[in-house]
A = this chain, B = another copy of it.
Amino acid sequence: MLSKITVPTLLLDKKKATDNIYFMLGKARKHGLIFRPHFKTHQSLIIGRWFRDAGVDKITVSSFKMAQYFASDGWKDITVAFPVNIREIELINELAKEINLNIVIESKEALEFLSNNLKYNVGVFIKIDAGYNRTGIECADIEYINALIRLIRSCRNMKFNGFLTYTGQSYRLKTPSQIPLSLKKTLNKLSLLKKAFINDYPDIIISIGDTPSCTLSDDFTGADEIRPGNFIFYDVMMISLSVCTWDKISVCLACPVVAKHTARKEIVFYGGSVHFSKENLIISGKEFYGLVTRITENGWSEPVKGVYAKALYQEHGILKCDNTECFNSINVGDLIGVLPVHSCLTADCMKSYLTLDGEVIGHL
């Protein structure tokens, strides 16, 4: 298979990916949670079917276009976890006609527009900001939340589902033990919110989701649904947060080596920001774009010590090799593997996968 790889190619280890699916599904089942994985990570019908084969029937996406893509493959229960973009009302109606579509609301303006323009039923989550400060309504803003719920109730095409939050603050925590504690704090806040409305709306649910919390936590008291996405692939960002080890990462970008610079122990590979995206980590003040592995016929090795991707240009990537033995063993024309910093963005750039069995898998 390797001899057929001529350009940067995103390898996918199906065994690792399905193990990751079963790990998270098992966790959801153990805690009695609805499992609604976020499909923005893989954006692939084929990979979606691996989830379906495991028994998943509810999914999350981040755009209506993505909802349409997965609906075309038979997914019938989709939450678009992004503040609703009312300019897409035509597509929203098209989808709401066909599937159980859940949207996310955080403003009266959007609600009022939808009240006047929705033609079919949708489920509505109110987006809560439980500390990430990206978007959503603060838990404490009960008055505004109340007003939104009244508006939802007054619209015959809307059903109030509950509260949805993204617990992305986990990415900012320095030690892995802080992550479950942070989730617990968030869930306490959300539980209070739920209590305030449960009498009037006995079915409302609390939906949370981020891979670090869902991977590391073992107490989900107060949550009803989880929406992690990244865990299907994991990535170097997750290693840096001690959320996973390298052997859980199921994607690796195979890149041809095109030049070597002995004096500065750098290797130039074909693989740049149009392949990886430009997401990086800053480690000891230095930019860091990925860990380096050896590609084999069966997959890839553990990360090589003393080697990392130090820079990405549009199509060039630069490996820094403090490890001389490794530097000497890599030749122009070889393939090296790079574990990406942010697998969701790398998959979005690459738009396709090659499994270790040689199957090419599409992406939206």
Taking Cβ atoms with an 8 Å cutoff, the residues of A that contact B are 5-7, 40, 62-63, 65, 82-88, 90-91, 106-107, 109-110, 113, 127, 133-136, 256, 258-261, 264, 268, 270, 273-274, 277-279, 311, 313-316, 318, 331-333, 335, 344-345, 348-349
Q: List 26 A-B contacts (CB under 8 A).
A: A6-B85, A6-B87, A7-B63, A7-B65, A7-B87, A7-B88, A40-B314, A62-B315, A82-B270, A83-B258, A83-B259, A86-B332, A109-B332, A109-B333, A110-B258, A110-B333, A127-B259, A133-B264, A134-B268, A135-B258, A135-B316, A136-B259, A273-B278, A273-B279, A273-B345, A278-B279
Whether A87 contacts B274 in the complex (CB less than 8 A), given A7-B63, A261-B135, A318-B134, comes out as no
Tell which of A63, A84, A86, A274 has the most Cβ of chain B within 10 Å. A274
Q: Are B6 and A259 in contact (CB under 8 A)?
A: no
Distance from A110 Cβ to chain B, minimum over Cβ atoms (Å): 5
Q: Are A259 and B348 in contact (CB under 8 A)?
A: no
Distance from A67 Cβ to chain B, minimum over Cβ atoms (Å): 13
Q: Are A345 and B274 in contact (CB under 8 A)?
A: yes
In angstroms, Cα B273 to Cα A344, docked, is 10
Q: Are A82 and B315 in contact (CB under 8 A)?
A: yes
Distance from A70 Cβ to chain B, minimum over Cβ atoms (Å): 16
Distance from A341 Cβ to chain B, minimum over Cβ atoms (Å): 10
Q: Are B277 and A273 in contact (CB under 8 A)?
A: yes
Nearest neighbor of A279 in chain B, beta-carbon distance: B278
Q: Which 9 pairs across A and B sit closest by C-beta, in order of nearness? A: A83-B258, A278-B278, A109-B332, A6-B87, A83-B259, A135-B268, A62-B315, A87-B256, A86-B333
| Residues of B with C-beta under 8 A to A136 | 259
